[in-house]
Amino acid sequence: MHPILNVATEAARTAGEYILQQAEHLDRLQVEKKGRNDYVSQVDITAEKMIIETIRKYYPDHNLRAEETGVHKTQSRFEWLIDPLDGTTNFLHGFPHYAVSLAVLENGKLAHAAIYDPNRDEMFAASKGEGARLNNYRIRVSPQKTLDDALLATGIPYTQFDFMEDYLQSFRSFMTQTAGLRRAGSAALDLAYVACGRVDGYWEFNLKPWDIAAGALIVKEAGGLVTDFKGGEDFLESGNILTANPKLYKEMAHIIGHTVSEPFRK
């Protein structure tokens, strides 16, 4: 395992174990509302500090972009994208589906990724060109070739609603042409599940870079395609993401192209 990925998994596990401990004391947590349906707790903040401390111990000069504390800029060619608790709403409701998500960019390109699910003690990890693993076992995207029998994951809009009609059009099309849709509340785990074949594909609008960066690399290293809604590589900038194995991806991209209007097809 690459030394940077070793640090990423150590940081993710340390934060994840802390988050799981705090899940036993939800009634005592201090929670703030950042915006409509957008929450942050002391657990998010403390977990992020723990992650940063671990990174700084080994790589004090690396750039950091974290969900809660923002950008920590240096002159390094490496940048960490940090989501200390992806699925905060799930966590605050005692719904055991959330994760720590860490990605490392080298010269602006995804290079390393770790997603840790503390409830299942599952560590998804990848380095560019080295394949993807779940708890050190190699993983691949599903072989599903058509939408008919596919199980897809998505995320329902919850803070911004100007693209609601476009989302509902795509949702309606996928709903009527697949074996089922799942909305579990963690983009990081949705992507991890595509990577290991638990779901066959995934699409979502308007996400943040730290929500999807780690999962995108893990899916790619597991043999999947990851793009924006135009088929390009700008999903970290646009926040719109579409992913599946290469054959199923073509069907999904066709539906996105016919249900999502031009202003939102980025």
132-134 sheet: strands from edge to edge = 70-72, 63-66, 78-86, 99-106, 109-117, 122-127, 132-134, 137-138
Q: Are 11 and 105 within one domain?
A: yes
The answer on 45 and 111 residing in a single domain is yes
Instruction: Flag residues of the chain having pLDDT under 70.
Output: 33-40, 158-161, 263-266
162 and 101 inside one domain: no
Where are the strands (E) in 87-230, listed by range?
99-106, 109-117, 122-127, 132-134, 137-138, 151-154, 180-182, 201-204, 225-227
Domain end (from 89, 116, 138) = 138
Of the residues 138, 157, 172, which one is the last residue of a structural domain? Answer: 138
67 and 90 housed in the same domain: yes
In this structure, what are the phi and psi dihedrals at residue 66, rounded to the nearest 5 degrees?
Answer: -115, 150
Structure tokens at 101: 């998500």
pLDDT score of 37: 42
The confidence score (pLDDT) of residue 63 equals: 96
Provide the residue range defining the domain that includes 90. 3-138
CB 112 within 8 A of CB 4: yes
Q: 187 and 95: one domain?
A: no
Asked if residue 124 and residue 33 are part of one domain, the reply reads yes
Q: Tell me if 214 sits within 8 A of 117, measured CB to CB.
A: no
Residues 154 and 98 in one domain: no
pTM of the model: 0.94
CATH number where 245 lies:
3.40.190.80
User: What is the per-residue pLDDT for 6?
Assistant: 98
β-pairing verdict for 225-227 and 151-154: unpaired
Q: What's the confidence (pLDDT) of residue 34?
A: 61
Single residue among 70, 104, 138 that ends a domain in this structure: 138
d(CA 265, CA 204): 11
> How many domains, the chain?
2
Q: In what order do the strands lie in the sheet with 151-154?
A: 180-182, 151-154, 201-204, 241-244, 225-227
AA identity, residue 258:
H
Regarding whether 117 and 15 lie in a shared domain, the answer is yes
Are 10 and 77 members of one domain? yes
CA 40 to chain centre: 17
Residues 117, 156 within the same domain: no
Q: What is the pLDDT of residue 28?
A: 79
SS3 assignment, position 12: helix
Which CATH number fits the domain that encloses residue 42? 3.30.540.10
